[in-house]
Structure 1
Amino acid sequence: MTVQVPTIEFFEGISEELADVSLRRDRATGVKSVLMTFRQLKAVERFNSFTNRFSNSLRLVDSEGEITVTPSDVKFIFGGPEGDDLKRVECKFEIDRDDHWERFIRFMNRYAEANGMAYGENK
């Protein structure tokens, strides 16, 4: 039996490295939102985006299977002396069903364990 290492992909077959994740819940509606932050994207390096198929969504893959989410917002933040250095990419999406939220949390726990991430509260 092979173990599936949890991956996050914008483009099929190109695993991205998550730098941070923020989880929030709207008190009025109960809708939960996720903000994933990436410091770089392998998909845009060396023209990977031209040689791999864009999945039109964010793919989260682990031993349970695949979660496909459509981001509500993706921001590319640039900086540096010329303003053309990619500083980070922020990807936001919402989860309105409790069973989908529970599945997402199981994925995040596996991803965190595989990548040495830990849960922490904002101060």
Structure 2
Amino acid sequence: MYTEQYSIRHLKMTSQTPSIQFFEGLPEELSNVSLRRNRNSGVRSVLMSFDSLKAIEKFQSYTKRFANALLLIDEEGQISVEPSSVKFIFGGPEGDDLRRVDCEFEIERQDHWDRFMRFMHRYAEVNGMAYGDTKQAQGAE
């Protein structure tokens, strides 16, 4: 469960390219993000998926400092999120090929959600991603 392990640190205002990092200085490439809201509690959950992680390729994680959280960095500063779960999904003939990494966390406070969404809009714009309603996309097929 997401606890208030969500912190925002303002950095000097620069034209910082938005990045997502498990290890400081090693940006990862987000493959997909799913945003959900619990109808009963109103708590929002985020599921970020990565098709690969630079941190585990060529043992890069041994040369970088672990952030102890997921870092979302942009021109407004740094958001530090402690995931409620991180799942490594393997496949392939031997079952040892990394297929995807899923990182999930919840955001309870509205101001944290608003800040997260500003980050995601910046990240999506820089990385050529677009938002779409899953229900609408499925109905169009």
Quote the Cα distance in structure 1 between the aligned partners of 2:110 and 2:14.
29
Partner of 2:130: 118
Partner of 1:75: 87
Cα deviation, 1:96-117, whole Å, max 9, x if unaligned, reads 0000000000000000000000
- Report runs of 4+ in structure 1 exceeding 6 Å deviation: none
**TM-aligned CA deviation for residue 121 of structure 1:** 1.3
1:42 to 2:40 alignment? no
Percent identical: 67
**TM-aligned CA deviation for residue 2 of structure 1:** 4.7
Partner of 2:118: 106
Cα deviation, 1:24-83, whole Å, max 9, x if unaligned, reads 000110100000000000000111100100011000000000000000000000000000
Quote the Cα distance in structure 2 between the aligned partners of 1:94 and 1:2.
28
Q: 1:85 aligns with which of 97, 104, 115?
A: 97
The DSSP-based 3-state class of the residue aligned with 2:57 is helix
Partner AA of 2:120 in structure 1: M
CA contact (8 A) 2:20 2:27 kept: yes
Quote the Cα distance in structure 1 between the aligned partners of 2:16 and 2:58.
26
- Greater Cα radius of gyration, structure 1 or 2: 2
1:62 to 2:38 alignment? no
Normalising by the residue count of structure 2, what TM-score does the alignment of the two structures yield? 0.86
Computed over aligned residues only, the root mean square deviation of the Cα atoms, in angstroms, reads: 0.9
Partner of 2:3: none
Unaligned runs of 5+ in 2: 1-12
